[in-house]
Structure 1
Amino acid sequence: MAGRGTVDLAPSAAVKVFSAGTAGCMADLVTFPLDTAKVRLQIQGESKPSVGVQRARFRGVFGTIYTMVKTEGARSLYSGLVAGLQRQMSFASVRIGLYDTIKQVYSRGSENVGIGTRLLAGCTTGAMAVVLAQPTDVVKVRFQAQGRLPEGGSAKRYSGTIDAYRTIARVEGVRGLWKGVFPNITRNAIVNCSELVTYDIIKELILQHKLMTDNMPCHFTAGFAAGFCTTIVASPVDVVKTRFMNSVPGQYSGAMNCALTMLIKEGPTAFYKGFVPSFLRLGSWNIVMFMSYEQIKRAVVRFQQTC
């Protein structure tokens, strides 16, 4: 990305892939409770109308976290963390780590990269990452959502991460592990473009106008802006993705049917359920991820120079 002047050696694609995956894991460790609260709020209301109590079970991001800790224990906030970390190592490393490389391929090495090229690069790496990491995303969402399932006396869906992969493949087929891949590709193409292109452009403008140096305050500002823009753009697709991936077989015929069902039964506001935790999560995730990414990348480059 823009502004590499503080290091003598430009980081290679392998360094960026490693740094992005590691930074994604660090960001997940910090923000995972917010992500879990977001998932709970997004799936709230998809039950049958007769089960009225569940509609008001969670109220707001901090109310959701409080309720979960009180009724399910603090560990419930990190349900699905293993799959989440697996997802980031395979997902963030591709969509973020390869962004600069794909951008240079599309621009044919030109220094003047237009916004269209940046958007195309973001869509490309976002789609590549989803195809690779979709099973980890499905398992993560299922774990984050399953805490509310035992209320009727039934057992939890999965006993562990490996059991989740095996059960989904056995019960729903291998295709079940890629459930929701198309809405997820759409969602992550949007997210990737919003995050990376916004971060890329804002960081570049800050450095061009010498408002800040290429250091943590600059990375913090650009990361915060990227998280805010991403939340506004991606929330509707994110809610549909979460609902569809968490649904039982046969509940929805497809992602479009899921979206239409939400619109008819719950109205347009359903597409922005969990908006506040989404923003808190995406904003903080982007800040932690981009700041970590830049610092890890530089540390690895310095290590290479020392060696």
Structure 2
Amino acid sequence: MAPITVDSKQSGTARILGSASAAIAELGVFHPVDTISKRLMSNQSKVTSLSQFNSVIFRNSAEKPIVTRFFSLFPGLGYAAGYKILQRVYKYGGQPVANDFLTKNFKDSFEGVFGARTGKAMMSATAGSLIGIGEIILLPLDVLKIKRQTNPEAFRGRGFLRIIMDEGLGLYRGWGWTAARNAPGSFSLFGGSAFAKEYVLGLEDYSKATWSQNIVASIFGASASLIVSAPLDVIKTRIQNRNFENPEGGMTILKNMIKNEGLTSFFKGLTPKLLTTGPKLVFSFALAQTLIPAFDKMIR
């Protein structure tokens, strides 16, 4: 049995620069798309007409000129910038660190259980899952971003520092559901990409992938991630978009969704998410995977 081939390692600086650059580019292109996705997931009524769809997407700006409607899709940009840059640096820059750790300490175990090629991909997926769970540390910024996008009335004139002081640990509400979503979601993202590089593209060193190869691998990973995490993502979003003084637990939301909306409600927004968030995730993931080695070459 052939041993697992170890990918080339990049410096920590290159990982930070590559991930941050990908996050900034993603934010500039896809923030309106993210707002649309969050508003669709938060909507609890059936959409039966174009005018109703416009009301869900554009809220109070539904009847206003198209330019006004477009700019209404940029709420919470400041929170989004802070969250997105930190999240992408942590996730895209941190997963290779976790993968290096697993390769150094558990390579033989993964190789023995899954075989040489699959073991390498499984290490990448497992590293992604571990990083995904730890991502809950950034939850307050995600909560504030989602509330700005879907429920701006929750702020009632309060600024960032005042909300932090008033709400405290309440901003971590839904952390368990977030971790439960992130673990399989990140496992599928990095695992799907790794399996594509291993079995579809036949790469021995994943870090040597070209831009087009990273795009193909990212499509596999992003699609798997969004489908697997969709039900928990809907619950997480509904926990986070409620008013601060009127929270609702995940189990209550789950029961009400089954009772009032049916099982298909757990996949609300999945199609637009695949069409909108999918390209966003593919774009940022592929860009980070391409930029990190590029920055590493520049630094060295």
TM-score between both structures, scaled by the size of structure 1: 0.79
CA distance in 1, matches of 2:286, 2:61: 30
**Does 2:115 align with 1:117?**
no
Query: 1:115 deviation in Å?
Result: 4.9
Pick from 57, 70, 82 the counterpart of residue 64 of structure 1.
Answer: 57
Mapped contact 2:22–2:284 kept (Cα < 8 A): yes
1:137-176 alignment runs, 5 A limit: 137-146=142-151, 157-159=155-157, 163-167=159-163, 169-170=165-166, 173-176=167-170
| Residue 142 (structure 2) pairs with residue 126 (structure 1) | no
* Cα distance in 2, alignment partners of residues 29 and 114 from structure 1: 34
Q: Distance in 1 between matches of 2:200 and 2:71?
A: 40
* Counterpart in the other structure of 1:292: 287
Q: Which moved more, 1:274-283 or 1:246-255?
A: 246-255
Distance 1:164 1:120, change over 3 A: same
1:167 is displaced (CA, Å) by 2.6
Shift of the alpha carbon at 1:70? 4.6
Give CA deviations for 1:275-306 in whole Å, capped at 9, x if unaligned.
1221123321122112321332133122213x
Identity of aligned residues (%): 21
Deviation of residue 37 (structure 1)?
A: 0.8
Task: Give the 3 Å change call, closer, same or farther, for CA 198–80 of structure 1 in structure 2.
Answer: same
Q: Given residue 211 of structure 2, which amino acid in structure 1 is its aligned partner?
A: M
One of 212, 215, 218 as aligned partner of 2:210: 215
Code of the aligned partner of 1:129: E
Shift of 1:125: 0.5
Alignment of 1:93-104 (within 5 A): 93-104=89-100
> TM-score, with normalisation over the residues of structure 2?
0.80
* Most deviating of 242-251 and 76-85: 242-251
Question: In the aligned structure 2, how far is the partner of 1:76 from the partner of 1:121?
Answer: 38
1:39 counterpart letter in structure 2 = K
Whether 1:107 and 2:103 are equivalent positions in the alignment is yes
Moved over 4 A (4+): 2-5, 52-58, 65-72, 249-253
Q: Count residues with an aligned counterpart.
A: 282
**Equivalent pair of 1:19/1:296 in contact (CA under 8 Å):** yes
User: Alpha carbons of 1:40 and 1:124: their partners in 2 closer, same or farther (altered >3 Å)?
Assistant: same
The superposition leaves residues 3-42 of structure 1 with CA deviations (integer Å, 9 ceiling, x where unpaired) of 998xxx7412342233223312322322222211111111
Q: What runs of 5+ residues in structure 2 fail to find an aligned partner?
A: none
Q: Which residue number in structure 2 is paired with residue 263 of structure 1? A: 258
Distance 1:25-1:216 versus aligned 2 partners, 3 A rule:
same
Q: CA deviation at 1:168?
A: 5.3
Secondary structure class of the residue paired with 1:208: coil
Could you tell me which residue of structure 1 aligns to residue 220 of structure 2?
225
CA distance in 1, matches of 2:97, 2:170: 32
The 3 A distance-change label for structure 1 pair 302 and 180 is same
By how many angstroms is 1:255 displaced? 1.4
Q: Residue 77 of structure 1 aligns with which residue?
A: 73
C-alpha change, 1:216 and 1:117, in structure 2 (3 Å) is closer
Q: Match for residue 236 of structure 2? A: 241
RMSD value, Cα: 3.4
Kept in 2: contact 1:38–1:277 (CA 8 A) = yes
User: 1:266-277 counterparts in 2 under 5 A?
Assistant: 266-277=261-272
Q: CA deviation at 1:73?
A: 2.8
In 1, Cα distance between equivalents of 2:196 and 2:99: 17
